[in-house]
Amino acid sequence: MDSLRLVVQTVIKGLKLITKEVEKFEQQLDKLEKRSVRTGAKARTTRKRRGRPPKRGRASATAKVLEIIERSQKGISTAKIKEKTGFDEKKIWNIINRLKKEGKVKNIKRGIYGKA
């Protein structure tokens, strides 16, 4: 009878430990869910992939900037691109740097960009 009691007590201790671990796991899950709601996890899953074609009827910002640069014969400055597109300077710089990495745009002079 004592050995049976000892086995039952050991099982109970094990179940209590498992219960505590499950509760910790649930708390961590709750934290992650709250964080994903605050930061907009949906935005992460629907983020635009690079190399994906633009939506129908709307040209992407990169496509607009590239088109403006390609149309300029002597090259164009970021100020002129800003005038034509209405984009802020940081967005234009990011687009130009991405296009330079892709080999589609090159520096003609300092601050002047042209088709590569």
User: pTM above the 0.85 mark?
Assistant: no
Ranking 15-29, 52-66, 99-113 by mean pLDDT, the lowest is: 52-66
**What pLDDT is attached to residue 30?**
85
Cβ atoms 27, 21 nearer than 8 A: no
Distance CA 68, CA 81 (A): 7
Per-residue pLDDT reduced to its tens digit, 72-91 = 989 999 999 999 999 999 99
Per-residue pLDDT reduced to its tens digit, 40-69 = 555 455 555 566 665 666 678 999 999 999
Distance CA 80, CA 65 (A): 11
Mean predicted lDDT score pLDDT of the chain = 84
The count of residues in the chain is 116
